[in-house]
Amino acid sequence: MRPSPVAPLPPTRPLAAALAMVVAMAVIGVIDNFIVVLAEHIGLWQFHAVRAAMALPLVVGLSVAGFGTLWPVRWWAVALRSLLVALSMLFYFGSLALMPIAQALAGLFTSPIFILLITVGLLRQRIGPWRLVAVGLGFAGIVLVLQPDAAAFDMLSLLPVAGGVFYALGAVTTRSLCGGESTVALLAGMWVALGLLGLAGLAVLAVWPLGSGAGPAGFVTRGWVWEMGPALPWVLVQAVGSVAGVFLIIRAYQWGEPSYVAVFEYSVMIFGPLFAFVILGQAVGPLQMAGIALIALAGGVIALRSGG
């Protein structure tokens, strides 16, 4: 039996990778402000299943428009990456029903730290001191922006951190195993994985219903809801925005080395609070402003000292 062909790894394009990630974070920083609206009406599993059903035709359209083939070069690598990223999203969105969104985001955005550990510990790649400093600055900035409550820590706080671990593994896999894959193939794989996991969750809840509270409190344990009209427009916004944002995220990780690209994900903490302030009237305090400045500084350090 002949081994699967190995697609050539594309050359790194640091500037293009950074720009793609920043634009992606701008999109995601806006649309994720409306997750709480969805959680009022439908559950986590229905959200992922319906969003995937809406997103997959858009991905097929990208392929038809010439942005890449739907068929992977190495099925097993794309399947592995799709599962890792889908699991990270389940842990992240699931944690939103169990803790404040700030705490959930802080856990998810530990992913650059895990990417650094994976890059150094498993891939044996050299990481210079400036990049180490930048990751530390970025993480400190996120703590200031999100201000998680350390006094309320318990084991549930590890749920979004688990999401961060799986997201880091997916990011490293994107570059090391899927660097030569079509961006559209990777995007399709992620949506198929999320859709299948959503359907699996709905099937489990149909057989063994857990009951659910009203509103966001019942997000994880809520089964299929037929009256989902109020949620549909927001699911569509999520589907379109997520296709665009994740397309750019995949491009970024294909073009750039993971520990470099990951730092620019911190920019979501600039766009998210800025949108919430301008549109929703949510004020940003002095500590949060300081955190945003640290995040921007971290990105600048990485961009200027990517070689060290």
Q: Which pLDDT score, from 0 to 100, does residue 2 have?
A: 45
Taking the C-alpha atoms of residue 243 and residue 251, their distance in angstroms, rounded to an integer, is 12
Q: Where are the domains of the chain?
A: 14-304
- The pLDDT assigned to 1 comes to 42
Return the pLDDT at 303: 59
Q: What is the mean pLDDT of the chain?
A: 82
Note the pLDDT tens digit of each residue in 113-129. Answer: 787 777 776 766 666 78
Contact yes or no for 53/195 (Cβ under 8 A)? yes
- For residue 150, the model assigns a pLDDT of 63
Give the C-alpha separation, 235 to 220, whole Å.
16
The tokens 């806006």 sit on which residue?
30
Q: Which residue is listed with tokens 């318990």?
A: 154
Q: Report the alpha-carbon distance of residue 86 to residue 73 in Å, rounded.
A: 20
Which of 74, 72, 15 lies closest to 256, judged by CA?
15
Say whether 109 sits in a helix, a strand or coil.
coil
What pLDDT score does 4 carry?
46
Q: How far is 74 from 190, CA to CA, in rounded Å? A: 15
Listed as ranges, residues in the chain with pLDDT below 50 are 1-4, 6-7, 307-308
180, amino acid identity: G
- Count of alpha carbons within 13 angstroms of residue 133, beta-carbon side: 12
Looking at residue 224, what is its pLDDT? 93
CB 179 within 8 A of CB 9: yes
Under 8 Å between Cβ of 33 and 272: yes
Two tokens, residue 33: 């402000």
Q: What is the per-residue pLDDT across 136-167, written as a single tens digit (0 to 9) for each?
A: 887 887 777 766 666 655 667 778 888 989 98
| Helix/strand/coil for 302 | helix
pLDDT for res 112: 74
